[in-house]
Amino acid sequence: MEWTSIVAIYVLIWVMTAFVMLPFGIKTNDEAGIPKIAGQADSAPVNFKPRALVLRATIVAALVTTLFVLNYTNGWIGVDDVNILAGFFGSE
């Protein structure tokens, strides 16, 4: 596998991981017990920490990318292993 492919896969996994992790640990003003500012949305986060999100997404994406590349090179899980519809349509 080319190193550019690994970087592209890492970036895709990083973005997906960041979006999945985005809502975890966020509290609204009502949940934190802090009064809202006039005109503030009810769902606005009070404790958003982008550096923590970036750090967590980087670590998780590195682990997932490493597992993906190792699986690609060693062939632990292939298409035949996850093809759950093979029994319904017959074998080739």
**In the chain, what are the domain boundaries?**
3-82
pLDDT for the residue 89 = 73
The string of pLDDT tens digits covering residues 37-69 is 899 998 899 989 999 999 999 999 999 999 999
pLDDT of 92 reads 55
Q: Which pLDDT value is given to residue 27?
A: 92
pLDDT in tens, 19-35: 999 999 899 999 999 99
Rounded to two decimals, the pTM is 0.80
* Nearest-5° Cα angle at 9, 18 to 72: 125
Residues 37, 49, 9: CA angle, nearest 5 degrees: 135
The neighbour count for residue 36, using CB atoms within 10 Å, is: 13
Please name the helix (run of DSSP H) or strand (run of DSSP E) that holds residue 16, with its range, or none: helix 3-21
